[in-house]
Amino acid sequence: MLRREFLTVRNRLTAGDVRAAGAALAERALELPELAQARTVAAYVSVGTEPGTLALLDALRARGVRVLLPALLPDNDLDWGAYAGEGSLAEVRHGGRMALLEPSGERLGPDAVTGADVVLLPGLAVDARGMRLGRGGGSYDRVLARLERAGARPSLVVLLYDTEVVERVPVEAHDRPVRAVVTPSGVRRFT
Protein backbone atom coordinates (compact mmCIF):
# COMPACT_ATOMS: atom_id res chain seq x y z
CA MET A 1 0.00 0.00 0.00
CA LEU A 2 2.81 2.43 0.94
CA ARG A 3 4.71 1.62 -2.25
CA ARG A 4 1.58 2.34 -4.29
CA GLU A 5 1.19 5.74 -2.60
CA PHE A 6 4.76 6.79 -3.44
CA LEU A 7 4.39 5.56 -7.03
CA THR A 8 1.11 7.48 -7.42
CA VAL A 9 2.85 10.72 -6.43
CA ARG A 10 5.74 10.00 -8.80
CA ASN A 11 3.41 9.23 -11.66
CA ARG A 12 2.00 12.77 -11.46
CA LEU A 13 5.42 14.24 -12.34
CA THR A 14 5.99 15.63 -15.82
CA ALA A 15 9.03 14.84 -17.97
CA GLY A 16 10.25 18.37 -17.20
CA ASP A 17 9.91 17.74 -13.44
CA VAL A 18 11.97 14.55 -13.77
CA ARG A 19 14.69 16.27 -15.86
CA ALA A 20 14.96 19.22 -13.47
CA ALA A 21 15.10 16.91 -10.44
CA GLY A 22 17.77 14.79 -12.15
CA ALA A 23 19.97 17.81 -12.83
CA ALA A 24 19.65 19.03 -9.24
CA LEU A 25 20.20 15.51 -7.91
CA ALA A 26 23.43 15.16 -9.93
CA GLU A 27 24.68 18.50 -8.63
CA ARG A 28 24.02 17.51 -4.99
CA ALA A 29 25.41 13.98 -5.37
CA LEU A 30 28.65 15.21 -6.96
CA GLU A 31 29.32 17.21 -3.78
CA LEU A 32 29.49 13.99 -1.72
CA PRO A 33 33.04 13.29 -0.50
CA GLU A 34 32.36 9.57 -1.03
CA LEU A 35 31.81 10.15 -4.75
CA ALA A 36 34.74 12.56 -5.03
CA GLN A 37 37.08 9.81 -3.80
CA ALA A 38 35.41 6.86 -5.54
CA ARG A 39 37.18 4.90 -8.25
CA THR A 40 34.21 2.58 -8.90
CA VAL A 41 30.54 3.40 -8.39
CA ALA A 42 27.69 0.92 -8.82
CA ALA A 43 24.65 2.88 -9.95
CA TYR A 44 21.52 2.40 -12.06
CA VAL A 45 19.73 4.04 -14.95
CA SER A 46 16.49 5.65 -13.84
CA VAL A 47 13.31 4.70 -15.66
CA GLY A 48 9.92 6.33 -15.88
CA THR A 49 9.46 8.93 -13.18
CA GLU A 50 12.35 7.80 -10.98
CA PRO A 51 14.70 10.68 -10.12
CA GLY A 52 16.87 11.04 -13.23
CA THR A 53 20.36 9.54 -13.06
CA LEU A 54 21.88 9.99 -16.55
CA ALA A 55 23.39 13.42 -15.77
CA LEU A 56 25.05 11.95 -12.68
CA LEU A 57 26.32 8.86 -14.54
CA ASP A 58 27.85 11.04 -17.26
CA ALA A 59 29.45 13.41 -14.72
CA LEU A 60 30.99 10.49 -12.82
CA ARG A 61 32.32 8.99 -16.04
CA ALA A 62 33.76 12.39 -17.05
CA ARG A 63 35.65 12.39 -13.73
CA GLY A 64 37.25 9.08 -14.67
CA VAL A 65 35.09 6.99 -12.33
CA ARG A 66 34.29 3.46 -13.43
CA VAL A 67 30.49 3.22 -13.35
CA LEU A 68 28.84 -0.19 -13.08
CA LEU A 69 25.20 -0.61 -14.07
CA PRO A 70 22.89 -3.53 -13.34
CA ALA A 71 21.35 -6.01 -15.73
CA LEU A 72 18.36 -7.87 -14.33
CA LEU A 73 18.69 -11.66 -14.31
CA PRO A 74 15.70 -14.05 -14.63
CA ASP A 75 15.75 -14.74 -10.86
CA ASN A 76 15.66 -10.96 -10.05
CA ASP A 77 19.34 -10.94 -9.06
CA LEU A 78 21.60 -8.39 -10.75
CA ASP A 79 24.57 -8.86 -13.06
CA TRP A 80 26.75 -5.80 -13.80
CA GLY A 81 28.31 -4.13 -16.81
CA ALA A 82 30.41 -1.00 -17.33
CA TYR A 83 28.75 2.24 -18.43
CA ALA A 84 30.38 3.74 -21.52
CA GLY A 85 27.93 6.56 -22.18
CA GLU A 86 24.26 6.73 -23.09
CA GLY A 87 24.94 4.99 -26.40
CA SER A 88 26.14 1.90 -24.50
CA LEU A 89 22.66 1.27 -23.07
CA ALA A 90 20.10 -1.14 -24.46
CA GLU A 91 16.39 -1.15 -23.68
CA VAL A 92 15.45 -4.53 -22.25
CA ARG A 93 11.93 -5.68 -21.40
CA HIS A 94 11.69 -8.33 -18.70
CA GLY A 95 8.34 -10.09 -19.00
CA GLY A 96 5.41 -7.73 -18.55
CA ARG A 97 7.41 -5.22 -16.54
CA MET A 98 8.64 -1.77 -17.50
CA ALA A 99 11.55 -1.73 -19.95
CA LEU A 100 14.92 -1.14 -18.30
CA LEU A 101 18.03 0.48 -19.74
CA GLU A 102 20.93 -1.91 -19.21
CA PRO A 103 24.59 -1.92 -20.26
CA SER A 104 24.95 -3.59 -23.65
CA GLY A 105 28.59 -4.64 -23.22
CA GLU A 106 30.34 -7.46 -21.40
CA ARG A 107 28.71 -8.87 -18.28
CA LEU A 108 30.99 -8.81 -15.24
CA GLY A 109 28.98 -11.12 -12.97
CA PRO A 110 26.87 -10.49 -9.86
CA ASP A 111 29.98 -10.20 -7.64
CA ALA A 112 31.37 -7.21 -9.60
CA VAL A 113 29.42 -4.93 -7.23
CA THR A 114 31.69 -6.00 -4.34
CA GLY A 115 34.48 -3.88 -5.85
CA ALA A 116 32.46 -0.65 -5.71
CA ASP A 117 33.45 2.20 -3.41
CA VAL A 118 29.91 3.59 -3.51
CA VAL A 119 26.59 1.92 -4.36
CA LEU A 120 23.83 4.28 -5.49
CA LEU A 121 20.50 2.63 -4.73
CA PRO A 122 17.06 3.25 -6.17
CA GLY A 123 14.13 3.35 -3.81
CA LEU A 124 10.72 4.77 -3.08
CA ALA A 125 11.45 6.25 0.35
CA VAL A 126 13.96 6.41 3.18
CA ASP A 127 13.23 7.06 6.81
CA ALA A 128 14.91 8.94 9.66
CA ARG A 129 16.96 5.81 10.52
CA GLY A 130 18.30 5.47 6.97
CA MET A 131 16.09 2.47 6.20
CA ARG A 132 15.20 2.31 2.51
CA LEU A 133 11.90 1.21 1.02
CA GLY A 134 12.51 -0.41 -2.36
CA ARG A 135 10.06 -1.50 -5.01
CA GLY A 136 9.66 -4.95 -3.47
CA GLY A 137 11.40 -7.10 -6.09
CA GLY A 138 14.32 -8.00 -3.83
CA SER A 139 17.08 -7.30 -6.38
CA TYR A 140 18.90 -4.79 -4.20
CA ASP A 141 18.31 -6.86 -1.06
CA ARG A 142 20.38 -9.52 -2.83
CA VAL A 143 23.04 -6.95 -3.70
CA LEU A 144 23.26 -5.80 -0.07
CA ALA A 145 23.45 -9.39 1.17
CA ARG A 146 26.22 -10.11 -1.38
CA LEU A 147 28.20 -7.09 -0.16
CA GLU A 148 27.83 -8.24 3.44
CA ARG A 149 28.91 -11.84 2.65
CA ALA A 150 31.98 -10.52 0.80
CA GLY A 151 32.92 -8.20 3.66
CA ALA A 152 32.63 -5.25 1.25
CA ARG A 153 31.72 -1.95 2.88
CA PRO A 154 30.91 0.57 0.15
CA SER A 155 29.04 3.75 1.01
CA LEU A 156 25.34 3.11 0.42
CA VAL A 157 23.47 6.13 -0.92
CA VAL A 158 19.83 6.28 -2.04
CA LEU A 159 18.60 8.79 -4.65
CA LEU A 160 15.09 10.14 -4.04
CA TYR A 161 12.75 13.10 -4.35
CA ASP A 162 12.46 15.45 -1.35
CA THR A 163 8.96 14.20 -0.45
CA GLU A 164 10.25 10.63 -0.15
CA VAL A 165 12.29 11.27 2.99
CA VAL A 166 9.80 10.25 5.69
CA GLU A 167 9.65 9.51 9.41
CA ARG A 168 9.29 5.70 9.15
CA VAL A 169 9.10 2.91 6.59
CA PRO A 170 8.38 -0.75 7.35
CA VAL A 171 11.54 -2.79 7.93
CA GLU A 172 12.25 -6.50 7.49
CA ALA A 173 15.07 -8.47 9.14
CA HIS A 174 17.23 -8.44 5.96
CA ASP A 175 17.00 -4.66 5.42
CA ARG A 176 20.16 -2.59 5.83
CA PRO A 177 20.43 1.16 6.42
CA VAL A 178 21.97 3.52 3.90
CA ARG A 179 24.63 6.08 4.81
CA ALA A 180 22.95 9.00 3.04
CA VAL A 181 20.06 10.12 0.87
CA VAL A 182 20.51 12.61 -1.95
CA THR A 183 17.48 14.60 -3.07
CA PRO A 184 17.22 17.55 -5.46
CA SER A 185 17.43 19.95 -2.50
CA GLY A 186 20.32 18.37 -0.63
CA VAL A 187 21.99 15.53 1.24
CA ARG A 188 20.93 13.96 4.51
CA ARG A 189 23.29 11.64 6.37
CA PHE A 190 22.37 8.87 8.78
CA THR A 191 24.46 7.59 11.68
Write down the domain spans for the chain.
2-189
Contact present, 66 and 103 (Cβ < 8 Å): no
Measure the CA–CA gap between 63 and 76, rounded to whole angstroms.
Answer: 31
The model's pLDDT over 119-172, given as tens digits with 9 standing for 90+, comes to 999 999 999 999 999 887 789 999 999 999 999 999 999 999 999 999 999 888
Q: What angle do CA 138, 44, 37 make, to 5 degrees?
A: 115
Q: Which residues pair with 20 in a beta bridge?
A: none
The model's pLDDT over 5-39, given as tens digits with 9 standing for 90+, comes to 898 889 899 999 999 999 999 999 999 999 999 99
Residues recorded for the chain: 191
Q: Look up residue 191 and give its amino acid.
A: T
pTM to 2 decimals?
0.93
The model's pLDDT over 38-85, given as tens digits with 9 standing for 90+, comes to 999 999 999 889 999 999 999 999 999 999 999 999 899 999 999 999
What single-letter DSSP state applies at residue 111?
A: G
Would the pLDDT of 107 be above 90?
yes
Architecture of domain 2-189: 3-Layer(aba) Sandwich (3.40)
- Largest CA-CA distance found in the chain, in angstroms, rounded: 41
